Copies of this chain bind each other. A is one copy, B any other.
Amino acid sequence: MTDTARAGSKNILLHEVGLRDGLQMESQVVPLEKKAAWLSGLLGSGMDIIQVGSFVHPAKVPQMADTDELFRRFTLDKKSPAILSGLVLNEKGLERGLACGVELFCLGASASETHSLKNTGMGTDEALARIIAAAKAAIAAGKKVQVSVQSAFGCGFEGPISEERVLKMVRAYAGAGLLNISLADTAGHAHPAQVERLFGAVLALGPGIECTCHFHNTYGLGMANMFAARRAGVTAFETSFAGLGGCPFTKVAAGNVATEDFVHVLQLEGLRKEVSLDSLLEVARDAATHFGRDLQGFVYKTGPIKVKAAV
Contacts and interface: CB of A to CB of B under 8 A. Distances in A.
A219 interface: yes
Nearest to A217: B298
A278 interface: no
A219 B264 contact: yes
Contact of A160 (B159, B250, B254, B309): B309
Interface in A291-311: 297-299, 301-302, 304-311
Nearest to A301: B252
Given A191-B268, A191-B269, A193-B269, A218 B298 contact: yes
Contacts of A74: none
A276 interface: no
A84 B40 CA distance: 55
B219 A159 contact: no
A266 B164 CA distance: 23
Contacts of A250: 302
Contact of A311 (B154, B218, B220): B154
A50 interface: no
Given A227-B228, A250-B302, A159 B221 contact: no
A142 to B, nearest CB: 39
Interface in A235-259: 250, 252, 254, 258
Contact of A220 (B158, B189, B252, B299): B299
Contacts of A301: 252, 254
A194 interface: yes
Nearest to A260: B220
Given A261-B220, A265-B221, A159 B308 contact: yes
A200 interface: no
Contacts of A218: 298, 302
Secondary structure type dominating chain A contacts: loop
Interface in A260-286: 261, 264-265, 268-269
A307 B159 contact: yes
B305 A219 contact: yes
Interface in A60-106: none
Contacts of A307: 159-160
Interface in A171-210: 187, 189, 191-194
A311 B160 contact: yes
Contacts of A268: 191, 194
Nearest to A311: B160
25 contacts: A154-B305, A158-B308, A159-B305, A159-B306, A159-B307, A159-B308, A159-B309, A160-B308, A160-B309, A160-B311, A192-B227, A192-B265, A193-B269, A194-B311, A218-B298, A219-B265, A219-B302, A220-B223, A220-B261, A220-B299, A221-B261, A224-B265, A227-B227, A252-B301, A252-B302
Interface of A: 154, 158-160, 187, 189, 191-194, 217-221, 223-224, 226-228, 250, 252, 254, 258, 261, 264-265, 268-269, 297-299, 301-302, 304-311
